[in-house]
Structure 1
Amino acid sequence: MSEITTTATALAPDVHTVRIESTNHDGTFHGKNIAPKKFASTPEFGLADLLFGLDLGNAPTMGFAYPSWRGHITDLQFRPDMSTLVQWEPGVQSVIGDYWQNDGTPVGTCPRNLARKLVDRLAVRGFTATIAVEIEATVFQESVHEARAKGYRDLTPLGGSAGTALNLAKSKDWVDYMSAVVRRLEQIGIEWEAWSDEDAAGQVELNLIPGDPISVCDNWARARQVMREVAFERGHTVTFMAKPTAGYGQASHVNLSLQRDGVNAFYAPGRPSSTMLNAVAGLLATMRGATSVMLPQITSYRRLVDLSGPPTTVTWGIANKTTAVRAVVGHPAYSRLEYRVPGADANLYLAVATILAGVIAGIDGNLEPVDPVSDLAWCAPDLERLPDTITKAADALESDLVLREQLGDEFVDYWVGTRRWEWMQFHTAGGDPFSELSEWESQRYFEFP
């Protein structure tokens, strides 16, 4: 009864709607609007398992073994995390939560539960993690209804066609859009550090403040929702597709540091610490399998073009942005690793869980990495390449025993099954592997995730 009393007391007196929020494995923002009286009457809410069983085309994924909770359209139990309760807008509060089975065990594919599991495993080893994320998106002048009518093709980039990064000579509509976004973020308590023009026309990068992994992932999910809502309100549309046009793609770089007893464990004067080297080695050892999570959709792999920004090789380097892992060293506060593989379409909860899995493996095994790459990591014939298709990455994850141990068989098998399903849908429902960007991809991925 105490939990029910707590939820009721936490609601604002003038609230008329409570929105419960979560992401599914594909990263789409899901939820339900609950009357305050109903919300205060129960500590959890039943939502159909189809949240994790439908693909982005709204078809049930099939062709692989379902876990015990999947397949009968049974209810999963959504448990709100009241520490995430915010005032979303006048009269509306929102809360993020996790999914549990009816027997009280966590749903193995629930992204937030999985991320928390890896955070807890790191804590057992005496470490806490701080992460930061770079959100990249492309904003178009057309409304979402106009974009739908055009099949999400041949849209007009907001702010003009100039595509040079960090360009301040943008038109006022672009500046007004991002100004409105950060004001809304501030209203719901999400702190930001910077926003800027990115390489592609209409593209923006938004940097949220660093923090603990779960809080940053929660802020990431809500920030993307804010960016969508502000775009809709202003008659524009925004997408987090990995490559919404035939031009530059979009990333979601994750910066990570570890602390032990309040001290940055990645710091050593002028060089990587031994803990950082262990972490790098674990990330490299698991990178091929991890790519499936970092690049989840068909279009994700269209980004992997040498000399265009994204990493294409299983590499690391010190201050080298052409590698998959960039080490920033020599500063007590800012020494960190930047994991540059994830596309803008990656689910950050799952990406963080998978990154932490590699870090833990490296620390546990006291692994040592290969030498850092000091030259361009692109176009080098002697460097191992990242998997460049959704099925190659899925195969790599399926056979990665380290990631299986850390993430669990249930997640790995289900995730691999859904990626192979996505490949089959692409090849049987109208996708074109030889185009720079097929109409099927625009229809499927522009609005989701």
Structure 2
Amino acid sequence: MGSDLTRPARAVRLEATNHDGSFLGKTVSDAKFAAGKDAGFAFADILFAIDLGTEIVFGDAYPDWRGNLYDIQMIPDPSTLVEWKPGLDSVIGDYWLKDGTPVPICPRNLARKMVDRLASLGYTATTAVEIEATLFEESIQEARKLGYRDLTPLGGSTGATYHLARSADWGGYMEAVVERLDRVGIAWEAWTDEAAPGQTELNLAPADPITLADSWARTKQIMREVAFDQGHTVTFMAKPTAGFGQGAHLNLSLHSGGVNQFFAADGPSPLMRHAVGGLLATMPGNTSIALPQITSYRRLVDLTGPPTTVTWGVNNKTAAVRAITGHPKYSRLEYRLPGADVNPYLAVAGVLAGVLAGIERKIEPPEQVTDMAWCLPDGHGVTRIPDTMSKAAAALDADPLLREYLGDEFVDFWVASRRWEWMEFHTKGGDPFAELSQWESTRYFEFP
């Protein structure tokens, strides 16, 4: 994906996510980029202090570096430089403090921290993601006028899966998306129509975790830009209508010496079992990261696709963690919890933290679920996934494993930001009894 930093362009767009997963940046001239590409570029720390409604978030202990509009440095990663379009390059970077240490709540740095800890154990991770999004006929300007409600699904109003009967506008949109992906060097494997009207799933090819998260963030931007160009609208909101929601399943395998360590001829390898054990042990707390917004929790309905119980099973798509076994190359874990609105880097960081905890502590998982993991009666021996933002935030706050791996400052910051989001919903017009409130549509349809 990398490009030559000396290749001339009229401008370079600096890119990174904030904690909520919004793709942020600024565009600088080629001369400015050449002068600052090593030392970095100043970004106000307020990007970690405001919510999606541009309100200052209160409720956590602000460290010295945050809260007074101090500058932090965004240092670009030269391996990510690409030509975005003629005359404009783009580059992804990380946030650093002026003393040369990483911003402890920087999503990309947090994911890299987990990758480095895995490497210290002798493992490299291979990851892939299934991105779900919903497309609408209306332009973004029309969608805004309608309050993002009662929009027309692109490709037809009936729900289906794998159907080829979508109208040409839907297929033309996806063809334009993958053409853009090819142009900027993002490897993809497949796209298909999904369950809800207008919904699509786009699968990115396996890559190392940081490359995958970079590609994931850029893919969402490309999908938005193609929609704008074609006069349509796309959203990654976890549940943009009262119908089906949409997720982002994360697939993972671990390798050492070029060998897939999750493979065993007779089923899950011991390493895979320990990884599953860690993922389930941290799942209640990780729910807050995987399901970041109010609407994220409206997906958690039995029999509709998303997992609702802290469970695992071999090739069981109703469980939260699906183990694919028996193949030296394709043996892997599918973490099915995250919503489409998850921050890609935090999704990676949270999952790798769970895997690390399981491996380092040799956590054994509970018995796998061999039947349907939805609608399990009380006393069946399984725990339900936290189904509200406040329950999930409390679980993360109390999770000693995630605190150890992700750091106290990140956990305290994230928990405070989710409690703030809960308060904004309940005091600014959100309706907890609606299938989908106008407050949620306004706040989440375009961001992240």
Query: What is the TM-score when the length of structure 1 is the normalising length?
Result: 0.97
SS of 1:253's equivalent?
strand
Runs of at least 5 residues in structure 2 that lack an aligned partner in the other structure:
none
> Superposition pairs for residues 94-173 of structure 1, below 5 Å?
94-173=90-169
Which residue is 2:429 aligned to?
A: 430
Which amino acid in 1 is paired with 2:414? W
Which residue is 2:402 aligned to?
A: 403
Residue number among 21, 25, 32 corresponding to 1:38 in the alignment: 32
Deviation of the 1:10 alpha carbon: 1.5
Instruction: Evaluate the alpha carbon distance shift between residue 151 and residue 366 of structure 1 in structure 2; reply closer, same or farther with a 3 A threshold.
Output: same
CA deviation vs aligned residue, 1:292-313 (integer Å, no higher than 9, x gap): 0000000000000000000000
Distance in 1 (alpha carbons) for counterparts of 2:358 and 2:222: 36
Query: Contact 1:76–1:101 (CA<8 Å) still a contact in 2?
Result: yes
Query: Contact 2:3–2:81 (CA<8 Å) still a contact in 1?
Result: no
Query: Contact 2:3–2:78 (CA<8 Å) still a contact in 1?
Result: no
Alignment of 1:206 with 2:239, yes or no, is no
Distance in 2 (alpha carbons) for counterparts of 1:214 and 1:222: 12
Query: Contact 1:8–1:40 (CA<8 Å) still a contact in 2?
Result: no
Q: Decide which moves more: 378-387 or 277-286.
A: 378-387
Which amino acid in 2 is paired with 1:441? E
Which amino acid in 2 is paired with 1:413? D
CA deviation vs aligned residue, 1:305-346 (integer Å, no higher than 9, x gap): 000000000000000000000000000000000000000000
Which residue is 1:349 aligned to?
A: 345
Distance in 1 (alpha carbons) for counterparts of 2:3 and 2:241: 46
Q: How many residue pairs align between the two structures?
A: 442
Distance in 2 (alpha carbons) for counterparts of 1:159 and 1:20: 34
Which amino acid in 2 is paired with 1:443? T
Deviation of the 1:11 alpha carbon: 3.5
Deviation of the 1:102 alpha carbon: 1.2
> Superposition pairs for residues 315-334 of structure 1, below 5 Å?
315-334=311-330
Distance in 2 (alpha carbons) for counterparts of 1:431 and 1:352: 30
Which residue is 1:3 aligned to?
A: none
Distance in 2 (alpha carbons) for counterparts of 1:136 and 1:419: 23
Which residue is 1:227 aligned to?
A: 223
Distance in 2 (alpha carbons) for counterparts of 1:131 and 1:84: 18
Query: Contact 1:8–1:39 (CA<8 Å) still a contact in 2?
Result: no
Distance in 2 (alpha carbons) for counterparts of 1:204 and 1:314: 27
Which amino acid in 2 is paired with 1:415? W
SS of 1:70's equivalent?
coil
Percent identity of the aligned residues? 65
Alignment of 1:421 with 2:420, yes or no, is yes
CA deviation vs aligned residue, 1:198-252 (integer Å, no higher than 9, x gap): 0000000000100100000000000000000000000001000000000000000
Which amino acid in 1 is paired with 2:237? M
SS of 1:271's equivalent?
coil
Deviation of the 1:8 alpha carbon: 12
Deviation of the 1:9 alpha carbon: 6.5
Which residue is 1:313 aligned to?
A: 309
Alignment of 1:246 with 2:242, yes or no, is yes
Distance in 2 (alpha carbons) for counterparts of 1:195 and 1:447: 22
Query: What is the TM-score when the length of structure 2 is the normalising length?
Result: 0.98
Instruction: Evaluate the alpha carbon distance shift between residue 177 and residue 370 of structure 1 in structure 2; reply closer, same or farther with a 3 A threshold.
Output: same
Which residue is 2:232 aligned to?
A: 236
Which amino acid in 2 is paired with 1:211? A
Runs of at least 5 residues in structure 1 that lack an aligned partner in the other structure:
1-6
SS of 1:414's equivalent?
helix
Distance in 2 (alpha carbons) for counterparts of 1:352 and 1:173: 33
* Alpha-carbon RMSD: 1.1
Deviation of the 1:69 alpha carbon: 1.6
CA deviation vs aligned residue, 1:345-401 (integer Å, no higher than 9, x gap): 001110111111111111111111111000110010222100000010000000000
Deviation of the 1:261 alpha carbon: 1.0
SS of 2:16's equivalent?
strand
Distance in 2 (alpha carbons) for counterparts of 1:440 and 1:141: 22
CA deviation vs aligned residue, 1:265-296 (integer Å, no higher than 9, x gap): 00001300000000000001000000000000
CA deviation vs aligned residue, 1:42-90 (integer Å, no higher than 9, x gap): 2200000111111001111112211332110111100000000000000
Alignment of 1:28 with 2:22, yes or no, is yes
Alignment of 1:384 with 2:383, yes or no, is yes
Instruction: Evaluate the alpha carbon distance shift between residue 9 and residue 385 of structure 1 in structure 2; reply closer, same or farther with a 3 A threshold.
Output: closer
Which residue is 1:4 aligned to?
A: none
Query: Contact 2:318–2:374 (CA<8 Å) still a contact in 1?
Result: yes
CA deviation vs aligned residue, 1:20-48 (integer Å, no higher than 9, x gap): 00001100000000000011012200000
CA deviation vs aligned residue, 1:157-202 (integer Å, no higher than 9, x gap): 0000121111110100000000000001101111110000000000
SS of 2:206's equivalent?
coil
Distance in 2 (alpha carbons) for counterparts of 1:206 and 1:45: 33
Distance in 2 (alpha carbons) for counterparts of 1:59 and 1:238: 25
Which residue is 1:77 aligned to?
A: 73
SS of 1:267's equivalent?
coil
Flag as ranges the 4+ runs of structure 1 deviating above 4 A: none
Query: Contact 2:4–2:81 (CA<8 Å) still a contact in 1?
Result: no
Which residue is 2:7 aligned to?
A: 12
Distance in 2 (alpha carbons) for counterparts of 1:182 and 1:174: 13
Alignment of 1:181 with 2:180, yes or no, is no
Which amino acid in 2 is paired with 1:209? A
SS of 2:423's equivalent?
helix
